[in-house]
A and B are shown apart, each in its own frame.
Chain A
Amino acid sequence: MCAILQNQSLRKYCAVLCVAVAIVWAIPSSIVRAQVIEIDIVSESLQRVLDTFTVTQRVDLVYAERLVEGRIVTCNYAGTDIERALACILDNQNLQAVRVRRRQYVLVDTSTDSVPNSTEDRVRMGALRGFVTDATSQEILPGAHVYLPELSIGAISNEGGYFAMPALPVGQYLVSASFLGYASLDTLIAISEESVMLALERRAVESETVVVTSDRRDPYEVSPGVREIPVDLISGFPGLPGEADLLQSLHWLPSVQRVRTNQGGLVVRGGEPDQIQYLIDGAPIYHMWHVGGLLSIYQPEVFKDVRLYRGSFPAEYGGRLSAVLDAELKDGTQEGITGLVGVGLFSARLFVEGPIGNEVSFMMSGRRSYLDRIIGRKHPVDDGVTRDTLRTGIYLYDVSAKLAWRPSLQHRLTLGVYGSADDLDIRLPINISRIGESGSILPLASWLRPSSLIVEFDTRWSNRLASARYHYLYADRFFLSATAYATSYRAHERIFLRPVATSSISSKYAVDILDMGIKLDLDYYLSLTHHIQAGASIVQRSFSSELGALILQTNSISESTDEESRLDNTEIVLHIQDTWKPTRRLQVQPGLRISRLLGGNDLRLSPRLGIRYALDRVILRAAAGVNVQYLHQVRDRYSVLYDLIAYRWVPASRSVKPSQSYHGSASGDLSLGTNLTAGIAMYVQRTEGLLLPRDEEQTKDGLRGPGISLAAILGQYTRGEALAYGLEGSLQYERGANMVWVSYAAGRSRSRAPLLGEKNLRPTRYDVPQRLEIVLQRNTRSWTYGLTGQWRSGYPITVPEARYAVGDPLSEEPRGFLYFPKINNGRLPPYVNYGLQGAYRFNAGFVSMQVSLEINNITFRRNIVRQTYTFEIPEPVSVMSTYGMPAYPLFELVARF
């Protein structure tokens, strides 16, 4: 397989991976060597014999005590075959030891079965299969754990909520089902022909808003690298917008970091914001943030399941280097019409869900800001000479809806739509600086006046997504999922500026992205120890952008630009993965993802391997994998006329190679009693084929840029490589109404551009060596109050090391310069923020109300967010600091009905 790879390093990596897989396969057989079994017993207690046998032969033997009580056995056996030895022990007892997997057997009573002809078929085999659902809303629950404690065997429900454990001896089993935020369900289930429904109750503790994260009884956690997000828990933590916001809340996880860009963003484990793939109902989303990153498009109440895959993804995921955030919209409850109304500092939101008959349910939600409703969108102004209409249209919205139809257990069809947009429509006099003239902080009236010097911004971006998903239980062991989607991102920027009465600048810039894809996934439950997942997908991506600009300097001097750019690519992906459970403690998950661009000759293989080993209180995981990203996010770095809010994506092609990362991680989760859980993880990731800016410090400071052609954009970037590594730890303590959450991350993220002569790796712009976050919270029936603390290293900055002066033939005096020999060679002071939060809940008729208040930066710390340098020859250089936000309160009112 490795021989067909063209890339030498990839070939080397593949070879190493193959050897590793071979070793893993070989481990059980090499460790467990055949040993001689000698049994010579006469009229002994069967129970005692089996106890001795399991200890001496290191086998798991599962049986009901009633089967062996009072039985006396006689056996004489010498040999190396465990199954023959067990057959000897159980001879004439109407009992049979049925092998479940290596060195694990179930004792079944054969007296109740018809006696078959074949010895191998003496025991009837069956499958435990079914769906995990929410007991109240009847929503399916993907990712739930179903576990047979007696056999130490488990399964995880797939995206259709289905699970299957085939090849089990027919009988009754104790089944434990659990899901994040739900109470565990322990029940006795007899294997039959029918699928079972495991309905889990939401686990409400003292508070309605906080739900316990996970149940440690089940060691069958999900794959290595996966982080199930305790949505209900972390969305209860304070955040900047003061409103429930899923992405804002993610930074409380140790591997996720909130970063400042003009678009907002998250980075995972030292990556870049564009290295995270955001999926809603299986469809990608390109823009996740409102108001330059103030809040995200993710409202927590809209989603039923959110998973963050870090570094080593399962084979079905790919296309990004550092993480995948897979969120699924709620289907809607079958219980009855319920909903929520929330009013926050910036926006109001509404959420409604309910049934439409017995087979159909719906969910609808919407959020909209209301600043424009308060200050108005259009303002006619008239000073007796000039009439004008000024505009202050600023708003954002999110809408989502889903329809779920489930005519039977075998079929489920969902249709989901999602939309979000920001609109900034402003026409104002350029000079709005008369602050204080009217005695108020925001003298709107002084702004709204006719003026010959005008600034207009009409910028708007929007996401549109439509997704149809069909789940089909073809047979007990076959589960099919088909997804078709279309998702678009559109942004336009229109600027008009008249700084001088006879001069003006107008520009129009638009970016359009349209993705259309089809995905087919198959779950095949081969045996108790093998679960095969395979699939194929094809996605067509179209990227287009337009730029038109007219710079009218005087009546006779003008300059215009009119450009168009269009790029397309089609990506085909095949993936396969086996979840193999050779022993009750060990799980191995090898996978392979094959991707290729249509019309290209660059076939990429992305092998993945995950290993999990469960001890009684500790779960150890290790994972390694290769990820490929076929998109690069770029922007013009020169012109102030375009690319202000709309980043462009450049798809990989013959001339633009995809970037590729090699990731390895190891982690451990420790359960210390019922109240305390802790986790630790280490990771390393090497990335190649990145596009790094040629001039990291270049800022938009000119009217004209190189344009929007691919060559013009790529000319501002060069290929680079990166290395990220780190250590993460988290701790959660819960006792009664009290909760403590601590997350710590230490890591480095470095990059270099060899083509620019950089020999050594240097810190990336988001390199944060250490980060510590703490939440202390108390939840009672009516109150939630708590204290939060955030501490992190400051962001890297480029610091000058010397100063000098050089003359210019057009200057009379030499001009001073600072010497910046290294990029990101310094660092801002540490960032510290302490916050307080409080929420009070009460009932008003049939409505449950909650009033929340948060105060950030209660210590009034002046966090430095930027440093600049000023100097004039011959005076010494002085440093100017820009400070972060002072203490600020945020509130929200939520009504649930």
Chain B
Amino acid sequence: MKFRYAILVIFFLMGCEAVHPEDTSLLVVESYVAAGQPLPPLTLRRTAPLEAKYDLDQSTAATGARVEFMLQGSLIPYTMQGAGIYAPLEPITAIPGAELDLRVYWGDHVIMANSRVPPAVSLDSVSIEVSDTPIPGLILDSVFVDPLLVDSLGLRALGANAREGLVYLVEATLYWTDNTERDGDDWWLRTQLLPRLGQSPRLSNFFLSPEALQRERSVPFVNAEQRSWSGAYAVQVPSSSNQLPAHGLRISIVRGTSAYAQFVSGSSNPGESEPPSNVTGALGIFTGLAIDSLTIEVQ
């Protein structure tokens, strides 16, 4: 009889999903050490439950941590200077090629990360081209039919809210000097066109790719020293008689590590997975990078 009960218990337990709630309060690290710039502050936050609000203040700050920051083998003292903000006492410049090493002690947690500062990057020149007249373009998504929604007869999956409109195409080409030849590391390059517009045609921009992430050595040279990248974005207008609205455009270029590239590419679906972290024992990112950007007025 006992055996029979044991079978029943096993049978029952097979149907149970053992999910044990865990202490979700993890440390989140954020620090981007830019080449040629003073060492940035290190931000330490805590994770929070899903049902709670997440304010970027004292409620989520990780306080009382001990930070050991090594720059090219030298210990740089960091102290807390705000809610979860830790910064060096004196401004110290991150030289290109410097090795970075981080240790943080927070309660029982010990987290570690390391990285390297890439060679500095700067935009040598930028050219902008704008289409003469507005052209038809898709304003919102109606193409990506979600099969799950179709299965459920969710007719909105067929593209409710989709709308055709008129757009100007703005094309920008960036030129920069590749000075990484002697470095030997495999650097990644992130380029971005960020128009300051009230509305942005999402789907059109998905295809136009105003942003790119690629290995720098895979970007073609335009001459012996310079590489270039071109991107485009759409600016929506109400009618064909409208001129291109004047707007600001920030053009950025970032040279980063593979950890940074993984972090960026892994950030595309924040509702499905978190970006890969290069920090042992914590979430977030600690990396060296080189950055340059400029903002222009397009009209």
B208 touches A292 (CB 8 A): no
Known: A453-B138, A819-B26. A827 touches B207 (CB 8 A): no
A722 to B110, CA, bound (A): 33
CB distance from A536 to the nearest CB of B (A): 42
A85 to B152, CA, bound (A): 77
Q: Which of A763, A817, A874 contacts B274 (CB 8 A)?
A: A817
Q: Is B108 an interface residue (CB 8 A)?
A: no
The tally of CB-CB contacts under 8 A between chains A and B is 235
Per-residue contact bits, chain A 429-450, to B (CB 8 Å; 1 contact, 0 not): 1111101000001000000000
A875 to B11, CA, bound (A): 42
A701 touches B56 (CB 8 A): no
Q: Is B58 an interface residue (CB 8 A)?
A: no
B54 touches A502 (CB 8 A): no
Q: Is B204 an interface residue (CB 8 A)?
A: yes
A869 to B272, CA, bound (A): 8
Interface of A is mostly: loop
Q: Which residues of A contact B232 (CB under 8 A)?
A: 503, 553-554, 557
Q: Which residues of A contact B26 (CB under 8 A)?
A: 802, 804, 819
Q: Is B15 an interface residue (CB 8 A)?
A: yes
Known: A433-B158, A769-B14. A503 touches B19 (CB 8 A): no
A262 touches B147 (CB 8 A): yes
B151 touches A818 (CB 8 A): no
A499 touches B203 (CB 8 A): yes
How many B residues touch the partner, as a band? 35 or more
A499 touches B204 (CB 8 A): yes
Q: How many residues of A contact B (CB 8 A)?
A: 83
CB distance from B285 to the nearest CB of A (A): 6
Q: Is A820 an interface residue (CB 8 A)?
A: yes
CB distance from A869 to the nearest CB of B (A): 5
Q: Which residues of B contact A821 (CB under 8 A)?
A: 22
Known: A500-B208, A697-B273. A801 touches B22 (CB 8 A): yes
A874 touches B268 (CB 8 A): no
Task: List the one stretch of A247-255, A341-349, A883-891 in contact with chain B.
Answer: A883-891
Closest to A873 in B: B54
Q: Is B195 an interface residue (CB 8 A)?
A: no
Q: Which of A441, A800, A817, A876 contacts B275 (CB 8 A)?
A: A817
Task: List the one stretch of B27-35, B67-75, B87-95, B97-105 in contact with chain A.
Answer: B27-35
A554 to B203, CA, bound (A): 15
Q: Is A870 an interface residue (CB 8 A)?
A: yes
Q: Is A385 an interface residue (CB 8 A)?
A: no
* Contact residues of A between 521 and 567, Cβ < 8 Å to B: 551, 553-554, 556-557
A544 to B231, CA, bound (A): 34
* Contact residues of A between 657 and 695, Cβ < 8 Å to B: 695
Task: List the one stretch of A468-476, A610-618, A708-716, A807-815 in contact with chain B.
Answer: A807-815
A482 to B47, CA, bound (A): 66
A594 to B81, CA, bound (A): 70
Q: Is A868 an interface residue (CB 8 A)?
A: yes
Q: Is B154 an interface residue (CB 8 A)?
A: yes
B50 touches A793 (CB 8 A): no
A727 touches B152 (CB 8 A): no
Q: Which of A554, A820, A868 contacts B169 (CB 8 A)?
A: A554
Task: List the one stretch of B116-124, B129-137, B175-183, B241-249 in contact with chain A.
Answer: B129-137
Q: Which residues of B contact A499 (CB under 8 A)?
A: 137-138, 143, 203-204, 206-207
Q: Which residues of B contact A718 (CB under 8 A)?
A: none
Known: A701-B268, A816-B270, A873-B54. A770 touches B15 (CB 8 A): yes
A262 to B21, CA, bound (A): 33
Q: Is A233 an interface residue (CB 8 A)?
A: no
CB distance from A897 to the nearest CB of B (A): 37
Q: Which residues of A contact B144 (CB under 8 A)?
A: 640
A455 to B143, CA, bound (A): 8
Q: Is A866 an interface residue (CB 8 A)?
A: yes
A695, A817, A873 pick with most chain B CB within 10 angstroms: A817
B207 touches A865 (CB 8 A): no
Closest to B214 in A: A704
A819 touches B283 (CB 8 A): yes
B45, B149, B271 pick with most chain A CB within 10 angstroms: B271
Q: Is B1 an interface residue (CB 8 A)?
A: no
Q: Which residues of B contact A816 (CB under 8 A)?
A: 54, 270
Q: Is B184 an interface residue (CB 8 A)?
A: no
Q: Is A699 an interface residue (CB 8 A)?
A: yes
* Contact residues of A between 410 and 465, Cβ < 8 Å to B: 429-433, 435, 441, 451-453, 455
A802 touches B14 (CB 8 A): no
Closest to A801 in B: B24
B194 touches A433 (CB 8 A): no
Closest to A451 in B: B164
Closest to A748 in B: B14
B49, B129, B209, B264 pick with most chain A CB within 10 angstroms: B209
A500, A699, A701, A810 pick with most chain B CB within 10 angstroms: A500
A802 touches B24 (CB 8 A): yes
Q: Which residues of A contact B135 (CB under 8 A)?
A: 452, 500-502
Q: Supply 12 A–B pairs (Cβ within 8 Å), ascending by A.
A: A500-B137, A553-B231, A703-B209, A769-B15, A798-B272, A802-B47, A802-B49, A803-B50, A803-B52, A804-B54, A820-B272, A886-B153
A433-B158, A499-B207, A817-B274 given; 11 more Cβ-contact pairs under 8 Å: A262-B147, A503-B169, A769-B17, A802-B26, A804-B60, A809-B291, A810-B252, A818-B274, A865-B151, A874-B54, A877-B51
Please give me the 3 A-B residue pairs with the lowest Cβ-Cβ distance, nearest first: A433-B159, A802-B24, A802-B47
